[in-house]
C-alpha cells in the first residue's frame, strides 16, 4: 500500500462584478470560463455519463437525481484544457480542477497555474463588460453573506482500506491541521461565536462529522465514492475541509502531510486513539484560537491543544518514513511539518512568511497599529479580502511575494509551463496531448476516459482507469506514430 501516488485539488473562486447592480454570478461565471480560449476547448463536451456523485463510501447509493446539462449548456460551462485540467462553472462559482499529479510540489505548480489561468480569463472577460464595471476574482472561501465555497483536495487510496479507519484517524487530524492550513479570517460567520480573527475561512461552516453533501450540513469528512479510476482497486478521498491557500509552502505542506497520514492509515501504523469528544465543536474552537493554546477534550479524557494533537501524528510520521519505503518527497514534507509544529509551540508569528493565517494576521495587525484601528474597522475586513485578490498588482499576497516576504517553493518558469503543459507522469499527459494533437476529433472528456468522433463512425471511448498509465513514458511512442485520432484508436486496439 504506502503513500497515495495520485493527488490533486479543485478550487472554487469567489466572483463579483463591481458597479453592476444586476450582477448575476452564473452568467458572469460562464463569461469568465469562456473568456479563456484554447483552440479546441469550445467544442468538447464534459462526459457526465462517467460520473456518479450519489455513491456513498459507506456502501450505499443516496437518493437523488444526477444533473446532466444539455449539449449547449455543457459546452458553455465546461472547458477541458491542454494542460490536463478542467475549468468550469460549478453552481455559482468558477472552478479550476488541476490535472492529476504524483507529489505535493506538482500540486503547487498546477494550482498556481490555475490562478494565472483564472486571472487571464478575468482580464479577457473585463474587455467584454460595460464601461465602469469590473470583474473581480478572489481565491478565498466566503462572500461575507453567509455563503461558503470550497477548496477541495483529492487523494487516490487503496479501496481495501477500511473507511471506518479512515474516518477514525482523519477526523482529529483534519480538525487540528488548520493550525498550518488555515487561510485566516477576520470575524466569524454562520451563527458562530463572535471573534476578532480566526485561523480558518471554512471552519464556521462545518455542521456534521460525516456525510455526502458538500453544500448543506457540510461534513468534516465527505463520503463521496467517485474514484474516477478502477472502482475495484481505488477510492478517491474527496476532502472538503480545507481552505483556499495562497502560500505555496502551505499548499505543499497541506497536501503532503495529508498524504503521509493517509499512507499511515493504509499501512495500519497509527497506534494511538486521538478521537475528539466533539469534532464539530472542536473545529470551531481551534479556528477561533490564534494563540493555538486552547485545550480540546479527547474521547479518552485526555486534553490536548491542536498543536499537541498534530505533534502526535508527526511523531508517528517521523517513525513511519524511516521504517517504510516512501517517495523521495516525504522526508522533506515531514521535516517542514516538524519545523512548523516547533514554531507554533514557541510563537506562531514566527511563521509570518509561510502560513497564510499568520501572514495575514501579522500584516493586518501592523496596519491597525499604524492607522489606530481595531478589528471591527471596515478597512480591516477589506484587507482580509484583498489578501486573496487574484490581480497581481492588487492582491496583498502577491505584493508580499514581489517583496520577497513570503517563502516560495516553486519557480515562475514551472508555473508558466504548467499553464499549457500537462504533468508527464500521470494519465493527464495522454489527455492533454490528445487535445493538442487531435482536438478537432475529441468529442468528450472525463477524468477516466476520452471519446473521439471519427468521421461517420460511432463515438470511440478510450478508458483510462489507471491514473498512472497514460504518462509520457507509456504513450509518447504511441502518440508519435498516430498522426490522427483514427490511427490512435487503431493502434490502441492493435
Q: Let me know: does 83 contact 113? Beta carbons within 8 Å.
A: yes
Checking DSSP bridges between strand 185-186 and strand 197-198, what pairing results, if any? Answer: antiparallel
Other CB atoms within 10 Å distance of the CB of residue 72: 8
DSSP annotation of 250 reads H
C-alpha cell of residue 365:
495587525
The three-class DSSP label of residue 444 is strand
Residue 258 burial by Cβ neighbours in a 10 Å radius (0-12, 13-18, 19+):
buried
Distance CA 139, CA 12 (A): 8
Torsion 346-352-358-361 (CA) sign: positive
DSSP annotation of 433 reads H
- Residue 281 makes CB contacts below 8 A (sequence gap 6+) with none
- DSSP letters for 368-431: HHHHT--TTSHHHHHHHHHTTB--TTT-HHHHHHHTT-S---S-HHHHHHHHH---SSSTHHHH
Distance CA 126, CA 387 (A): 21
Distance CA 86, CA 95 (A): 8
The three-class DSSP label of residue 142 is strand
Whether 90 is catalytic is yes
Q: Let me know: does 149 contact 14? Beta carbons within 8 Å.
A: yes
Residue 355 burial by Cβ neighbours in a 10 Å radius (0-12, 13-18, 19+):
buried
Backbone region of residue 222 per phi and psi (left: phi > 0; alpha: psi in -120 to 50; beta: other values): beta
49, 90, 213, 267: which is the annotated catalytic residue? 90
Q: Let me know: does 40 contact 442? Beta carbons within 8 Å.
A: yes
DSSP annotation of 93 reads E
Distance CA 425, CA 469 (A): 8
| Residues forming the active site | 90
Amino acid at each position: 500500500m504506502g503513500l497515495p501516488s495520485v493527488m490533486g485539488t479543485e478550487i472554487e473562486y469567489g466572483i463579483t462584478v463591481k458597479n453592476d447592480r444586476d450582477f448575476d454570478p452564473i452568467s458572469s461565471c460562464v463569461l469568465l470560463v469562456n473568456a479563456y480560449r484554447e483552440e479546441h476547448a469550445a467544442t468538447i463536451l464534459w462526459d457526465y455519463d462517467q460520473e456518479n456523485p450519489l455513491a456513498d463510501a459507506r456502501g450505499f447509493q443516496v437518493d437523488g437525481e444526477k444533473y446532466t446539462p444539455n449539449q449547449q449548456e455543457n459546452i458553455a460551462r465546461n472547458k477541458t484544457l491542454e494542460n490536463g485540467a478542467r475549468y468550469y462553472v460549478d453552481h455559482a462559482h468558477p472552478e479550476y480542477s488541476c490535472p492529476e499529479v504524483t507529489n505535493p510540489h506538482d500540486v503547487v505548480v498546477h494550482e498556481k497555474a490555475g490562478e494565472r489561468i483564472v486571472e487571464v480569463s478575468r482580464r479577457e472577460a473585463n474587455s467584454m463588460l460595460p464601461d465602469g464595471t469590473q470583474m473581480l476574482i478572489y481565491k478565498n472561501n466566503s462572500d461575507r453573506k453567509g455563503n461558503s465555497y470550497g477548496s477541495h483536495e483529492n487523494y487516490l487510496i487503496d479501496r481495501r482500506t477500511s473507511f471506518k479507519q479512515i474516518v477514525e484517524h482523519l477526523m482529529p487530524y483534519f480538525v487540528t491541521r488548520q493550525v498550518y492550513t488555515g487561510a485566516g479570517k477576520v470575524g466569524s460567520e454562520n451563527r458562530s461565536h463572535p471573534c476578532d480573527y480566526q485561523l480558518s475561512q471554512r471552519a464556521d461552516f462545518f455542521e456534521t462529522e460525516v456525510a455526502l453533501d458538500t453544500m448543506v450540513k457540510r461534513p468534516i469528512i465527505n463520503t463521496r465514492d467517485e474514484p474516477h479510476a478502477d472502482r475495484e482497486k481505488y477510492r478517491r478521498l474527496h476532502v472538503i475541509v480545507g481552505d483556499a491557500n495562497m502560500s505555496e509552502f502551505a499548499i505543499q505542506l497541506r497536501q503532503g502531510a495529508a498524504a503521509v497520514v493517509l499512507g499511515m492509515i493504509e499501512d495500519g501504523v497509527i497506534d494511538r486513539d486521538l478521537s475528539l469528544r466533539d469534532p464539530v465543536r472542536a473545529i470551531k474552537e481551534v479556528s477561533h484560537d490564534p494563540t493555538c493554546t486552547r485545550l480540546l477534550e479527547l474521547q479518552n479524557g485526555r486534553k490536548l491543544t491542536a498543536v499537541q494533537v498534530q505533534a502526535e501524528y508527526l511523531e508517528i510520521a517521523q517513525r513511519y518514513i524511516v521504517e517504510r519505503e516512501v517517495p523521495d518527497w516525504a522526508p522533506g514534507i515531514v521535516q517542514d511539518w516538524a519545523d512548523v509544529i516547533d514554531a507554533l509551540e514557541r510563537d506562531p508569528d514566527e511563521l509570518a512568511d509561510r502560513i497564510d493565517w499568520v501572514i495575514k494576521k501579522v500584516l493586518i495587525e501592523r496596519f491597525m497599529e499604524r492607522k489606530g484601528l481595531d478589528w471591527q474597522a471596515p478597512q480591516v475586513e477589506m484587507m482580509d479580502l484583498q489578501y486573496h485578490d487574484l490581480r497581481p498588482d492588487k492582491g496583498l499576497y502577491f505584493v508580499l511575494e514581489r517583496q520577497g516576504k513570503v517563502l516560495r517553493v516553486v519557480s515562475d518558469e514551472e508555473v508558466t509551463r504548467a499553464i499549457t503543459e500537462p504533468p508527464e507522469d500521470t494519465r493527464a499527459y495522454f489527455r492533454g496531448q490528445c487535445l493538442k494533437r487531435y482536438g478537432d476529433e475529441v468529442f468528450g472528456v472525463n477524468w477516466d476516459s476520452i471519446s473521439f468522433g471519427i468521421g461517420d463512425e460511432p463515438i470511440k471511448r478510450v478508458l483510462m482507469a489507471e491514473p498512472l498509465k497514460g504518462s509520457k513514458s507509456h504513450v509518447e511512442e504511441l502518440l508519435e506514430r498516430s498522426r490522427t485520432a483514427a490511427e490512435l484508436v487503431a493502434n490502441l486496439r492493435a
